[in-house]
Chains A and B, each alone.
Chain A
Amino acid sequence: MRRLLVCLAIAACTRTPLPSRAVPAAPSATPTLVNGAGSTFVFPLLSKVFSDYVRVDPRVRFNYQSIGSGAGIRQITDRTVDFGASDAPLTDEQLAKAPDILHLPIVLGAVAVAYNLPSKPALRLTPDLLAGLYLGEITRWNDPRIAAVNPGVSLPSLPVAVIHRADGSGTTAIFTDYLAKVSPTWAQKVRHGTAVRWPVGIGGKGNEGVAGQLMSLPGAVGYVELAYAVQNKLPVASLANRAGEWIAPSVASTTAAATGAAASMPDDLRVSVTDPPGVGAYPIAGFTDILVFRGQTDPVKGPALARFLWWEIHDGQREAEPLLYAPLPPAVVAKVAVKIRSITLAGKPILVGQPE
């Protein structure tokens, strides 16, 4: 395993374009710390990536704190961290405050609707049912409306315990963006965003907290990034997509959701891929973006960050699938690569060298 990683590391180094000027080596043996914060959605992937990247570039350590996408956006805007990570793009208002911030999608993830029912049945949910659960209109699992789309499934007469996020969250942004698209009541009463006014439920801190509540509470339903559900062996619902199919969250169905979006990606790479029209597409998915300032100021951290990002959208992509994230479609990789090349240090582009 380790040998494999070393090979991977060497391969990565040779493919990474050289920095435009010699990067000063860290003065001591202590590696440089690059601090980041944000999305809990992508934390399982990033913590793995950063742990492996130490072997690719031993001179830097990427300290990543998963405190929620909302926080990632705020902290990078306030420059209290060197990079942010968010599953929700900055709003126009947020972007106006920090126009120099780049959105760099690194991966796609699915928001799974997971539940804790004693017999672990495989459930199907329509958009209306999902909205009904989260609006507090459906309060018991054996509600006839749930039974109607789940023939043959024995539903317990447990009360529904709705779990949502207590913190500002990109997962919430994706989830509520979807609900607002499919449910007029939701769009009018709750709207969408990284933090909303929940009609019912228990708040969990981070994807970790929601999954934790799900694990401990029979009758609970919650939305988490797919990796959290699978790692914890929680059953997830199949959802009815726009094409009228029942689709379970998976790497393939997430990729299908992204393919359509890639073509119509705007120039700033801010895009929503929920409720897509495609066949086989899972309806609640989204890109996770790394947020960095285009103009870097630290002569050590800036290049380290740019080199990491380049590695991440190329060789780093192979880390995604084992953790159930979907790699970027090639068309998106090309667009992100252009953005990464535009990162500058003191006005000069950091990455020069061989084209893709």
Chain B
Amino acid sequence: MTQSRWARRAATDAAMTWLCGLAVAVTLVPLVSLLWMVVARGASALSWSFLTSLPKPVGEVGGGVGNGIIGSALLLGLAATIGLPVGIGAGLFLAARGDGTAGRTVRFLAEILAGVPSVVAGLAVYALLVRPMHRFSALAGSLALAILMVPMLARGTEETVRMVPRDLFEASLGLGVAEWKSGLLIVARTAAGGITTAVCLALARAAGETAPLLFTALGNQFWNLRPDQPTASLPVLIFNYAVSPYPDWQKQAWGAALLLLVLVGVLNAAARLATRGRFAGGGR
């Protein structure tokens, strides 16, 4: 009697172990399928001219995503120029004075900002820049991206800077080094690895953002390096080509997806490498 109940309990235990193991497999299936499709279909689209040419007129085979590559680089560069100082600065502020009322409020708002859907950030930038400037522009696109990067940067910076032992900072002050110098040189330098991680992760996130670009950067089928002009980007190209009826464009969407995935992967790997072996590790 008790033995059969024990057997039932053991069977339940085994079944649940299997089920949970299965859950891991189920989690990995879409990942494997997605990576496989992007690599397999994307690789066949890659060629020198795919990387360096402009799109062909609609319905014609050939052409490339050179405008999207340059456009994404422009957008990310501008977004980093706007977002990095603000995000890292806010993180340093939170680390230095995050325990006061002002600090707690800023941290709270930064966390809320991190939860704002990117499409809403795009709407706001449309109202803020596109309408008054009477122009879709790379600048507007990168401001939307910067808004998404800032809370990630602030949080990452604060976390790593807080891991730098306070003694180090105080010892530096005790030696008569000015606060700003102690803050920037000692703290920021010791935490540089962690901040680099935050920067890489924020850039990775921004690189793949699509929705806000639809109504800020719009698109451009030509080369563009001017911040005040509409500009193409890889994610928007992927979207436009994916929903198009042309097999050649769909193939290019997979190719562009592969490029974007490699970029995001490299940034994520760099994020991990930057903090490897430091005390400012990101993991728990």
- State the A residues within 8 Å of B (CB): 30, 33, 35, 37, 43-44, 47-48, 50-51, 61, 63-65, 67, 78-81, 204-206, 208-209, 211-212, 214-215, 227-228, 231-232, 323
Contact A33 B222 (CB under 8 A): yes
Known: A35-B136, A80-B134. A64 touches B221 (CB 8 A): yes
Residues of A contacting B130 in the complex (Cβ-Cβ under 8 angstroms): 80
Whether, in the assembled complex, B245 has its beta carbon less than 8 Å from a beta carbon of chain A, the answer is yes
Known: A35-B136, A80-B130, A80-B134. A47 touches B243 (CB 8 A): no
Contact B131 A35 (CB under 8 A): no
CB A242 to nearest CB in B, in angstroms, measures 31
Number of interchain pairs (Cβ within 8 Å):
73
Nearest A residue to B231 via CB reads A63
Whether, in the assembled complex, B230 has its beta carbon less than 8 Å from a beta carbon of chain A, the answer is yes
Residues of B contacting A79 in the complex (Cβ-Cβ under 8 angstroms): 134
Bin the interface of chain B by size. 20 to 34
Which of B58, B220, B230, B243 interacts with A43 by CB under 8 Å?
A: B58
Q: A208-B243, A209-B244 are in contact. List 18 more A-B contacts (CB 8 A).
A: A30-B226, A35-B136, A35-B230, A43-B58, A44-B59, A47-B57, A50-B221, A63-B221, A63-B229, A63-B230, A65-B218, A78-B134, A80-B130, A80-B136, A205-B243, A208-B244, A231-B59, A232-B245
Which of B60, B135, B244, B245 interacts with A80 by CB under 8 Å?
A: B135
Contact B131 A78 (CB under 8 A): yes
Residues of A contacting B57 in the complex (Cβ-Cβ under 8 angstroms): 44, 47-48, 50-51
Which of A33, A47, A65, A215 interacts with B58 by CB under 8 Å?
A: A47
Residues of A contacting B36 in the complex (Cβ-Cβ under 8 angstroms): none
CB B40 to nearest CB in A, in angstroms, measures 19
Q: How far is the CA of A33 from the CA of B229 in the complex (A)?
A: 8
Contact A209 B134 (CB under 8 A): no
Residues of B contacting A37 in the complex (Cβ-Cβ under 8 angstroms): 218
Q: How far is the CA of A63 from the CA of B220 in the complex (A)?
A: 6
Which of B58, B60, B222 interacts with A63 by CB under 8 Å?
A: B222
Contact B131 A80 (CB under 8 A): yes
Q: How far is the CA of A116 from the CA of B80 in the complex (A)?
A: 47
Residues of A contacting B230 in the complex (Cβ-Cβ under 8 angstroms): 33, 35, 63, 65
